[in-house]
């Protein structure tokens, strides 16, 4: 299967089974995902594996962030959650938005690799993603932000739903044509006319003052 085939076949899986890739399985895929374009090779990202009771800790943190009494059951939808963290590095060349784009690129590429390897994946976020309670549960530093989680598990039997067609031609364009400059001869003629109007206006003002 080519990269093009794998990308065309990829689909988010909102439901997965209870099997998940091992840590060693992930190491190989993460090493490949980390090859995304990365200005100055800052590696402004890291990943956190959530397995077993880690998901209960996250459920409690989500509940705290939302002011709910009961822990959220959302983290239990998959046996493995991979938290995607933008870990910003000091740089005069690479702004924060570009570093966050790198972290997002790693997450998306990893989701493609997991899907191609036979795993079901969906990237989930939420308004609580960058709450203090959730950040604390993940042990994030002051220079870090959570971009969401890849929910990973086995692909269930049956075909996934259809995806909307990407109408590429409608999303592609060229640079807009530059605005035409005024004709040099026309500008040469307009300048004296504007000056004459301005002089006439000034002369009227002087006449009013004298009267």
Q: What is the DSSP string of 44-88?
A: -EEEEEEETTHHHHHHHHHHHHHT-SSPPSGGGGSSEEEEEEEE-
Q: Which residue has the higher pLDDT, 50 or 195?
A: 50
* Separation between Cα atoms, residue 207 and residue 48, nearest integer Å: 82
DSSP secondary-structure letter at 36?
S
Task: Please list, in sequence order, all residues whose beta carbon lies within 8 angstroms of the beta carbon of residue 73, skipping any fewer than 6 positions away.
Answer: 59
Q: Over 80: is that where the pLDDT of 72 sits? A: yes
pLDDT value of position 192: 66
pLDDT of 201 over the 80 cut: no
Instruction: Mean pLDDT check: name the lowest of 12-16, 75-79, 138-142, 193-197.
Output: 193-197
Q: Residue 8 pLDDT more than 80?
A: yes
Percentage of the chain beyond pLDDT 70 is 90
- List the structure tokens of 36: 């995304």
- Look at residue 112 in the predicted model and tell me its pLDDT: 96
Residue with tokens 């005069």: 92
Confidence of residue 86 (pLDDT cuts 50, 70, 90): very high
- CA 24 to chain centroid, in Å, comes to 27
pLDDT band at 204 (very low <50, low <70, confident <90, very high): confident
Q: Which of 27, 34, 31, 48 is nearest to 102 (CA)?
A: 34
* Residue whose token pair is 């209960």: 56
Residues 47 and 146: their CA atoms lie apart, in Å, by 10
pLDDT at 104 over 90: yes
pLDDT of residue 9: 85
For residue 193, the model assigns a pLDDT of 62
User: Is pLDDT above 70 for 87?
Assistant: yes
- Mean pLDDT score across all residues of the chain: 91
Q: What pLDDT does 183 receive?
A: 59
Euclidean distance between the first and the last CA atom of the chain, given in angstroms as a whole number = 92
* Largest distance between two CA atoms of the chain: 97
Instruction: Determine the Cα–Cα distance for residues 35 and 5; give it in Å rounded to an integer.
Output: 20
Scanning the structure block, which residue is given the tokens 């190491």? 27
Assess whether pLDDT exceeds 60 at residue 117. Answer: yes
- Please report the pLDDT score of residue 113 as a whole number: 96
Separation between Cα atoms, residue 121 and residue 106, nearest integer Å: 14
Q: Specify the pTM.
A: 0.82
Torsion of CA 100, 102, 106, 111, to 10 degrees: 70
Percent composition of the chain: helix, strand, coil (DSSP 3-state, to 5): 45, 15, 40
Which pLDDT score is estimated for 180?
85
Residue (of 16, 23, 130, 24) closest to 75 by Cα position: 16
- For the residues 156-176, what does the mean pLDDT come to? 88
């Amino acid at each position: 299967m080519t990269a093009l085939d794998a990308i065309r076949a990829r689909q988010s899986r909102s439901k997965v089974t209870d099997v998940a890739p091992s840590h060693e399985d992930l190491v190989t895929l993460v090493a490949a995902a980390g090859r995304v374009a990365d200005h100055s090779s800052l590696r402004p990202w890291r990943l956190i594996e959530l397995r077993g009771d880690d998901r209960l800790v996250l459920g409690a943190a989500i509940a705290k962030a939302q002011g709910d009494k009961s822990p959220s059951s959302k983290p239990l939808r998959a046996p493995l959650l991979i938290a995607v963290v933008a870990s910003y590095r000091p740089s005069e060349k690479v702004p924060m938005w570009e570093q966050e784009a790198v972290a997002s690129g790693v997450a998306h590429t990893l989701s493609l690799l997991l899907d191609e390897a036979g795993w079901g994946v969906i990237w989930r976020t939420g308004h609580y993603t960058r709450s203090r309670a959730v950040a604390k549960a993940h042990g994030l530093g002051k220079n870090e932000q959570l971009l969401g989680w890849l929910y990973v598990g086995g692909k269930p039997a049956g075909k996934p739903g259809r995806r909307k067609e990407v109408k590429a031609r409608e999303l592609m364009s060229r640079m807009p044509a530059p605005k035409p400059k005024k004709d040099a001869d026309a500008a040469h003629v307009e300048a004296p006319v504007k000056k004459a109007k301005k002089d006439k206006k000034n002369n009227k003002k002087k006449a009013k003052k004298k009267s």
